[in-house]
């Protein structure tokens, strides 16, 4: 029960933080659509994607190791942090030089090269922040990364909207994003050093261990980032910045909605999986199944709404007619979102049980498939072809992961949840389509369609008993216990004649 209570608390805190950051991202997206042309937005989106594509070694190979190892041996946190940051700093110097030279050799114009240079600095700041966040997660301290994300996104949105309204361009926005990342890094660093103390320990043996251990993660990251971001680069070569902007407008929403599995699995459940993998396989399987149930329950209706209401979403966020080209791209990305949610759980099982070598094979197959399909479909269907390939790649990864995950850990019970959630989502989609046929006014979509869709989905899901009764009972029990503890603590604090030490 203590473990469940901690998971519920962390989930609640993280969801509040994510709700704020998601709202901030939504506002900034609207500002992009209102104040930037599709070509300008395409340049900014390309620069961010290009830097992420080249800077993959900073994000893959180390953070997963940190969370897993510190969750099992917390006293090593400062030593792991010191040596990881040293490795990342050296890697960043090499990668940043490569990024600038390679962008110049490819013949991109000066404005794009400036954007790439700014985003390259953001890469180091973000890599440091993510390392600190991984350490906080390993201690179960999800509140600090959540608040760091709120500070980063909130400040970036506030300042960014003001600048865009006053005619500033994409270079200013790149600097604003850099500033937000630096604020988050300073916040996370302050609270981490308060927990473990300040110090730096150079450990050559640990550096060698981290580098050796990073090989499966790094290989997976190399291949994964390439197939995950390659489509944008291919679009820039085969089409133009406007098409990249159309794709980026849809993909930005897809990317934003990835927060849920990143939050539930990466921030909360992955440390739990890592601890249970060395103590109880039965409890690990139960934790895996409950996580999968939650993601399916949320992911299927989200994907359905993206397909049915894509014209309304794009029209609401991007006010220029050019962005209407993003509608079919968003609809084509939606199915891939569900498989991405599932794949996050399955890949976490492999990593937490130290089967990370399997994910290298998965990524290699996915890259070959993704590249081949993009080369075929992008010339024919441009940004829509790239979106279709993204969804097909996630489906392929799902099929491969089913073969690699141990049968004893496969969440078989989640199939029933998926079927019921799909039925509820279809009912919701039908009602949404009928309501949308009555009016196309944006206010009608926000005030009527979305609330009605949510009510229909929850109502049908409850009738079908989509979430197992024991899960709901455990959740309510945990919440009641939390409230009872809080009430008892309040009574003690208010009791006359008592002093709390």
pTM of the model: 0.67
- The Cα 130–Cα 480 span in angstroms is 34
Which residues, other chains included, contact 493 with Cβ-Cβ below 8 Å and sequence gap of 6+? 500
Query: Please, what's the b/e burial string for 264-301 (b: 16 or more CB within 10 A of its CB; e: otherwise)?
Result: bbbbbbbbbbbbbbeeeeeebbebbbbbbbbbbbbbbb
DSSP code of 28? H
Q: Provide the pLDDT for residue 121.
A: 92
Complete DSSP assignment for 68-130: HHHHH-GGGHHHHHHHHHHHHHHHHHHHHHHHHHHHHHTT--HHHHHHHHHHHHHHHHHHHHH
From residue 155, alpha-carbon distances to 24, 45, 181 in Å are 9, 20, 10
Q: Provide the pLDDT for residue 427.
A: 95
Residue stretches of the chain with pLDDT short of 70: 1-15, 17-18, 57, 59-61, 213-214, 217-218, 220-225, 227, 266-267, 440, 442-443, 468-501
Q: Provide the pLDDT for residue 480.
A: 52
Query: Please, what's the b/e burial string for 54-64 (b: 16 or more CB within 10 A of its CB; e: otherwise)?
Result: bbbbbbbbbbb
Residue 82: name the closest of 228, 193, 246, 230 by CA.
Answer: 193
Residue 411 dihedral angles phi and psi, to the nearest 5°: -80, 70
Residue 18 dihedral angles phi and psi, to the nearest 5°: -70, -35
Residue pair 195/207 in contact (Cβ under 8 Å)? The answer is: no
Complete DSSP assignment for 261-288: HIIIIIIIIHHHHHHHTTT-HHHHHHHH
Complete DSSP assignment for 150-184: HHHHHHHHHHHHHHHHTT--HHHHHHHHHHHHHHH
Query: Please, what's the b/e burial string for 355-366 (b: 16 or more CB within 10 A of its CB; e: otherwise)?
Result: bbebbbebbbbb
Q: Domain extents for the chain?
A: 2-412, 413-480
Q: Provide the pLDDT for residue 109.
A: 86
Residue 57: name the closest of 110, 1, 3, 96 by CA.
Answer: 96
């Amino acid at each position: 029960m203590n473990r469940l209570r901690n998971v519920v608390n962390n989930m609640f805190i993280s969801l509040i933080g994510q709700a704020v950051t998601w709202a901030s991202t939504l506002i900034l997206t609207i500002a992009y659509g209102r104040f930037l042309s599709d070509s300008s937005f395409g340049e900014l989106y390309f620069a961010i994607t290009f830097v992420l594509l080249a800077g993959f070694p900073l994000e893959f190979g180390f953070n997963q190791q940190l969370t897993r190892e510190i969750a099992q041996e917390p006293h090593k946190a400062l030593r792991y942090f010191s040596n990881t940051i040293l490795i990342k700093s050296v890697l960043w110097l090499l990668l940043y030089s490569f990024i600038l030279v390679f962008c110049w050799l490819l013949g991109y114009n000066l404005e794009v090269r400036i954007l790439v240079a700014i985003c390259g600095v953001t890469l180091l700041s973000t890599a440091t922040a993510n390392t600190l966040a991984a350490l906080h997660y390993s201690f179960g301290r999800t509140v600090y990364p959540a608040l760091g994300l709120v500070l980063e996104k909130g400040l970036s949105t506030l300042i960014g909207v003001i600048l865009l309204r006053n005619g500033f361009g994409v270079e200013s926005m790149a600097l604003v994003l850099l500033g937000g990342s630096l604020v988050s890094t300073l916040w996370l660093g302050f609270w981490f050093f308060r927990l473990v103390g300040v110090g730096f320990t150079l450990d050559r043996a640990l550096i060698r261990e981290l580098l050796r251990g990073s090989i499966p993660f790094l290989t997976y990251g190399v291949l994964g980032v390439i197939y995950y971001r390659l489509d944008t680069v291919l679009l820039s070569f085969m089409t133009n910045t406007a098409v990249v902007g159309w794709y980026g407008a849809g993909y930005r929403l897809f990317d934003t909605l990835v927060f849920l599995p990143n939050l539930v699995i990466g921030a909360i459940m992955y440390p739990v999986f890592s601890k249970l993998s060395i103590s109880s396989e039965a409890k690990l399987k139960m934790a895996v199944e409950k996580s999968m149930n939650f993601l399916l329950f949320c992911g299927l209706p989200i994907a359905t709404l993206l397909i049915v209401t894509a014209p309304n979403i794009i029209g609401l966020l991007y006010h220029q007619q050019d962005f209407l080209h993003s509608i079919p791209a968003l609809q084509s990305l939606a199915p891939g979102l569900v498989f991405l949610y599932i794949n996050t759980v399955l890949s976490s099982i492999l990593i937490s049980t130290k089967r990370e070598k399997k994910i290298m094979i998965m990524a290699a197959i996915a890259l070959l498939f993704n590249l081949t399909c993009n080369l075929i479909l992008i010339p024919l269907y441009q940004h829509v072809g790239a979106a279709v390939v993204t969804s097909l790649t996630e489906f392929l990864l799902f099929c491969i992961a089913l073969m690699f995950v141990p049968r004893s850990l496969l969440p078989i019970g989640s199939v029933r949840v998926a079927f019921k959630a799909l039925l509820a989502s279809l009912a919701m989609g039908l009602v949404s389509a009928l309501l949308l046929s009555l009016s196309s006014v944006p206010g009608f979509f926000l005030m009527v369609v979305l609330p009605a869709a949510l009510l229909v989905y929850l109502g049908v899901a409850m009738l079908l008993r989509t979430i197992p009764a024991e899960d709901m009972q455990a959740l309510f029990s945990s919440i009641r216990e939390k409230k009872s503890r809080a009430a008892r603590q309040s009574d003690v604090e208010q009791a006359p004649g008592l002093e709390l030490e």
